[in-house]
Amino acid sequence: MVGIVVVSHSASLAQGVRELAEQMVQGQVPLAVAGGIDDPEQPIGTDPMRVLAAIESVYGDDGVLVLMDLGSALLSAEMALEFLPEDQQSNVKLCAAPLVEGTMAAAVQSMVGGSLAQVLAEAEGALAVKVEQLNLAPPTDREAAVETAVASSPTSIAESREISLEIRNKMGLHARPAANFVQTANKFQAEITVRKGEKTANAKSINQVATLGARQGETILVTAVGPDSAQAIEAIQKLAADNFGERETDTVPEKVVETAVPTEAKEGQLQGIAASPGIAIGPVLQYRPRLPAIVRETGKNGEGEWARLQTAVNTAVAELQTLQSQTAQQVGAEE
């Protein structure tokens, strides 16, 4: 199994990323961190020897993938790589993937038995999930690639199976259930795809399954093509019946909707009430308002406009002088 090393300037950040990954792989993947430096007054930084120790702690024949945050973390990882024996250096890869997303994807791919090259590829593609969710880029050719791979598989119609499954998890097919789904799919030789609406994904890729965004109450269509397709569908059906391995205590409890009662706001505080119950989840709509166009106008009679301004100024001065004189008469000049 491929080992994963997280390198960060912050020990807390590195440990936090590890904790997130452990939530998905539950101790099944060797994970190590190298965060911060041994300086109580200035603990932020990276130490090549800490990185080396982390690599050695998870090293195995399947290799090690190292993910870094930025700057000197890359340099420290490169130096640590040079300290390794030559026969081990080629079995350790430094990954340019985003630290958090890349670690999650790499850990899941390692858990399902992926090779070092597969784990690296999955990590480097992890950012696509966020990009698609935020509508920052047009859809990729993922669906076409998945369908082409299945269509080109040398199997017969008799070896194809499919099943429709309703997602019952309150948070949908999110991190841990998705990881369990991918892990189950990877146990079989069959080509397995999952479709939600018009989106199709490779069921053996955590990144692609995550892009589906399957929510509670939605239906997915799982298709398996291959000699063990029947067994694959049976296993996935059993997993879905078990809430994709998610315990009821892991799900979000139902909330009692209460009618909002207006209360008096404190001085200097703005306060409102809920307009509608529940939540809505969907792609982000980025609000980018356009500034109004400024129309520049030039006076046609400059001398006349200047004369009007002077008249207005003189009138204002005269009115102020009159007001000053009246005030002095009423309250006295000394006041």
> What are the residue ranges of CATH 3.40.50.510 in the chain?
3-125
Residue 101 structure tokens: 């997303």
- Residue 30 is predicted with a pLDDT of 95
Fold observed for domain 132-250: Histidine-containing Protein; Chain: A; (3.30.1340)
155 class by beta-carbon count within 10 Å (0-12 exposed, 13-18 middle, 19+ buried): middle
Does domain 3-125 fall into CATH 3.40.50.510? yes
Half-sphere exposure at residue 84, Cβ-oriented, CA atoms within 13 angstroms: 27
- Residue 272 is predicted with a pLDDT of 65
> What are the residue ranges of CATH 3.30.1340.10 in the chain?
132-250
The answer to whether the CB of 246 falls within 8 A of the CB of 145 is: no
The answer to whether the CB of 229 falls within 8 A of the CB of 159 is: yes
Length of the chain: 335
Catalytic residues: 9
- Residue 121 is predicted with a pLDDT of 93
Query: In the chain, which residues have pLDDT < 70?
Result: 137-158, 248-266, 268-275, 333-335
- Residue 304 is predicted with a pLDDT of 85
